[in-house]
Amino acid sequence: MPRPLTLAVFTKNRVNPAYDAARLAADRVAAEAGARTVHYVPETPDHVGQQKVLVGEALALRPDAVLLNPTDDVAMAEDLARFAAAGIPVVLIINRMKGEALTFVGSDDVGVGYMAATALIRGLGGKGGIVALDGTPSAPTARDRTVGLKRAVAENPGIELLGARVGYLMAPPARTAMAEMLKDHPRIDGVWCANDVMAFGVLEALADSGRTAQVVGVNGLPAAIDHIEHGRMLASVDFSAFNIAAIATQAALRHLAGKSVPSEIMVPAELIDRSNCQRWKAPFAVRPSASWPVPDGTRS
């Protein structure tokens, strides 16, 4: 009896629920196909050195394919090359990078950042001062979302970007950064966050200061949906690591079965606000996995 296919799944941390959802989706799709997953997650969130060590462990295992969300798109290039040299196909997920890979599965992050910013600006009636919580500079998703933010601000002369801090895509540093900006700016009308987890830290900082502002994020996490439903957040964008990982796992399995896979698969994102948030209330454990055929936006 042949051994089951093994997929090595690399995610950046265990503190962002979006990555919990990604691991869940990969496990589910692999299990349905009779394959198994082995997860590699740095103990220190987003730690490049630890992810490099984990690459060595995965190479020793010799999986049939790899799903890789790189902690740094430049620093991990040599590790992507190590998989290629070993003849192990790699599906890049969420964060793209240069190098030899079977395909990249993600979303248009410039569009995601722009969508969140546009929702914030619309919620402010096109006027006011906003601040931004940027993500980790080593993450292409974060860099691209900031490009989208700046594009939206440039299109709306009634909006002033008062300041920006790096929140590292985590709640505690975002809370600290927001507290600093609240001290610097006596009035902040809106806050753009590159992900929902930082938005949660922002809400804590606002509560600590006794101040209010409109807040938007990215990921469509269950806690964000609750905040939107109850008016504590204005909006989020459904950049779905859950769907991305499900499609990426299917891509790896299709390749191993000798089927063709596009070189890029772009998963559509959608704005979530109070008008439609009920659609996202189901926890990831009971949500259906995204299925093949792949969505519009693929490139062969």
**pLDDT tens per residue across span 288-297:** 988 876 665 5
Query: Do residue 207 and residue 261 come from a single domain?
Result: no
Query: Do residue 143 and residue 233 come from a single domain?
Result: yes
Number of domains in the chain: 2
pLDDT for res 290: 87
- The domain of 96 spans 6-107+241-268
Is 286 part of any domain?
no
Is 22 part of any domain?
yes
Query: Do residue 12 and residue 30 come from a single domain?
Result: yes
Query: Do residue 27 and residue 59 come from a single domain?
Result: yes
Is 295 part of any domain?
no
254-257, long-range: CB < 8 A, 24+ apart: 254/292, 255/65, 255/89, 255/102, 256/5, 256/64, 256/65, 256/89
Alpha helices in the chain (DSSP H): 17-32, 48-61, 77-85, 109-123, 140-154, 171-184, 196-209, 222-229, 241-256
Distance CA 194, CA 133 (A): 6
Q: How many CA atoms lie within 13 A of 287 on its CB side?
A: 20
Q: What is the pTM of this model?
A: 0.94
Query: Do residue 131 and residue 220 come from a single domain?
Result: yes
Distance CA 103, CA 169 (A): 25
DSSP string, 56-123: HHHHHH--SEEEE--S-TTTTHHHHHHHHHTT--EEEESS--SS--SEEEE--HHHHHHHHHHHHHHH
Query: Do residue 103 and residue 113 come from a single domain?
Result: no
Query: Do residue 146 and residue 222 come from a single domain?
Result: yes
Look up the CATH number of the domain holding residue 90.
3.40.50.2300
Distance CA 246, CA 250 (A): 6
Query: Do residue 246 and residue 101 come from a single domain?
Result: yes
Is 284 part of any domain?
no
Query: Do residue 120 and residue 102 come from a single domain?
Result: no
Let me know the angle formed at the C-alpha of 241 by 236 and 245, rounded to the nearest 5 degrees: 160
Query: Do residue 249 and residue 151 come from a single domain?
Result: no
Segments of the chain with pLDDT less than 50: 300
Is 50 part of any domain?
yes
Q: Give the chain's length.
A: 300
Domain boundary among 217, 237, 257: 237
Query: Do residue 24 and residue 73 come from a single domain?
Result: yes
275: Cβ–Cβ under 8 A, 6 or more apart, which residues? none
pLDDT for res 291: 81
Is 28 part of any domain?
yes
- Which residues are 92's β-sheet partners? 68, 104
Distance CA 196, CA 169 (A): 8
Distance CA 37, CA 74 (A): 26
Structure tokens at 295: 């969505």
Structure tokens at 298: 């693929």
Is 150 part of any domain?
yes
Q: How many CA atoms lie within 13 A of 153 on its CB side?
A: 21
pLDDT for res 297: 56
Query: Do residue 27 and residue 56 come from a single domain?
Result: yes
- Supply the Cα-derived Rg of the chain in whole angstroms: 19
Is 275 part of any domain?
no
pLDDT for res 298: 60
The 10 Å Cβ neighbour count of residue 110 is 17
